[in-house]
Structure 1
Amino acid sequence: EHYTVNKRWAKLENFKPETTTAHHIHLATQALVQGLSDMGLPAKPWLYPYFSMGYMGPWSAFFLRLPAPVELGHDTEGMLVAGYDPETKGYTLMHIHPCPDASQFLNMEPSSEFQTGEVYLNHLYQTGDTLLAHGSLDDVLVLVAEWSARPDILLRACD
């Protein structure tokens, strides 16, 4: 059985992964990474296990909510990430910063799969300037192209 978006249990043979939010995020993230690659810009897609912190308590405006951010590089304002926002069904482009008080918000032992740092963005991140919210793929690619021409950036090194 599986639990549906309608909060009901259903037969597993009726499960359609292509209807899930995770599937939409995955496809949108692949399209973003491919678009950046086509432009010759390096990018690192991450899985962000702490995205739900952006929805909790009075801190909701401050923590990163993207479950699969794509790291583009750094500039004087922090790390620049882009990602698909499943709530608005649009792309976001923003600066993020490690939260210096993360230990006050997270009191848990991370599982071993989070230890490598190759797939998961392992720190609690705060949001900085939002350069684009609820945009299209083309919108985010145009802004990243403009950003990549700035003299003060460090592009993400290729893996």
Structure 2
Amino acid sequence: MHERHRELLSHLRDALKAVRLFKQRTAPRDTVVPAGALGVLAAITASRGSHVKELAAASALDPSTISRAVAALVRDGLVERTADPADGRACVLTSTDAGRAAYDQVLDRYGRGLADALRGWTPDELRTFSTLLHRFTDDLLEAAR
């Protein structure tokens, strides 16, 4: 393996650890979003109606994992299931008003934490990092296909 690749992998491990710690320490303590379900709530909130199968494929997770997260979100009143008009056997998942409010609360908290962490970065540095991170993510996803 090329030495630069080893170095990059080391930095990626550090970055993933930092993201986990950031999320743990920045998440609102009073949030009603079940642990581990924020990504599922985000995906449902961003869509006009989702199916478990689609969510699992989009997030590269097992459908049973998504189903457990959805069950917790439904139980807590953050997501609702309705019959799919195109296929009565399937359910369409949508965020409730409470779900959208909870998601916005968590997103605002993360946004403030990120702004605080990056307060020393210039607008050009932020733009460059964002562009390169987007490119990296796209290339990594392409390589995973």
TM-score relative to the length of structure 2: 0.23
Q: As a proportion of its length, which structure holds more helix?
A: 2
More strand by share: 1
Question: Under a length normalisation based on structure 1, what TM-score does the superposition of the two structures give?
Answer: 0.22
Larger radius of gyration: 2
